[in-house]
Structure 1
Amino acid sequence: MQTDRPHPARIYDYWIGGKDNFPPDRIAAEHAISVSPDIPQAARENRGFLRRAVRHCAEAGIRQFIDIGSGLPAQGNVHEVAQEVAPDSRVVYIDNDPIVLTHGRALLADNRTTTVLTGDLRDLDELLDRPALRELIDLSQPVAVLLVAVLHFVTDEQAAAAVRAVHERLAPGSFLLVSHSTAEGNPVRAAEAAKTWDNTDSPIRLRGRAQVEELLEGWELLEPGVEFVPLWRPDGPTDDSTRWMYAAVGRKA
């Protein structure tokens, strides 16, 4: 378990008020805050998008969820939102940080419809074929796959391959939930903020709206399409909202 270098999941955990982070994570997280004090708010708004989008999928009848790059457990986890709507919902969390596996298994010890696996977005086909995932997820039935704040940690080719694999492997009626960091909302500050991840194993790649839309070709995008995270079907006023990330939800016809 590597704790002498920052990790994206633990940086994010620090921003949303978690306690599962270490000094290198906090140093990296504070660098971003020094550049733009609204970045922790952006992280919280990203969690808000996740909750709204998962709720929509559950209300639309989805009972299976795969959260890839899930990060550390936080308030309003996927299984909590989905199972509040439909208690029989099944959820698989996947992350490449072993700390996520440790904390997730402790949290979910008594939950037989939810599990946590160690894995990587870049090995998506292997993940979808893994027996531990298939014990809970029936890929012949609709599934909601979350790629929330994770595609910006892989190359253009890897991101496109992951989204394509999801589309190819899932049944019609499935959903893809995406959020992605961008420089378009904060062009002056973005380059400096991106240095937050320079010392991690996953440097960040900021992409524009057109690039995110290109990644999602083949998916039927729910309204309002690719939009800044807080503006994707907000629950309330968004006057003071951030513009650090795009969000979208696509449906496979």
Structure 2
Amino acid sequence: MSEEQYLAAYDPRAYPAVAVTVDVVTLTIREGALHLLLVRRAEQPYADFWALPGGFVRPAEDLDAAAGRELAEETGLGGEDLHRVHLEQLASYGTPGRDPRMRVVSIAYLAFAPDLPEPSAGTDAGEAEWLPLAALPSRRLAFDHERIVADGLERARAKLEYTPLATRFLGEEFTIADLRAVYETVWGHPLHAGNFHRKVLSVPGLVESTGATTEHGGPRGGPRARLYRAGDARLLHPALLRPATEETAR
């Protein structure tokens, strides 16, 4: 039997229907705290529960494109603005019964960027908000999104150890103190300023000097701080380990 004959005789209805969705764990730093983008569901199932931005993948749509579309719908970002958002595939979730409607497999994504705008709820959401991570226990999450959020947060924390993605939370120019604040916020641990400064400058390609300084000195009248930009490193060697990871490695 040729491929053409096989496809002509093939009946997809002979197999159980399985739908594919995308869900996006979107993180940003606002007012010095890590925030997560959530939407309140306006429709069943899980009406009035909070959930990650997401939805069904369209028949002719690539997975990455579907994740970008859902993110754009909830953040108002579009076109060139989406290029400044780091977006990567996180994991797949397909436990039977995770969605009461039918068998649904979700491909989850992790996204983060600086200065993301106020969200605007999509067509199937009652409202959308940036929620501080510290307030997450106050929200009832739909489906298995609590697990997905936990996995996304751990991925983000780990990525900051061995990749330069912390710089994606910042603008084009930043100080080492600005970078340290990102690590402290995402990891949830205070860091020794001097030690962090030495470690960052010892990692090849993590940052590079712009040759400029801040316009003003520190809050106590100290010298102006040097400005840096993201370097060309893709992996950090040596890695910048979380305090908890450092203790385990000893």
TM-score, normalised relative to structure 1: 0.28
More strand by share: 2
Q: Which has the larger radius of gyration?
A: 2
TM-score, normalised relative to structure 2: 0.29
More helix by share: 1
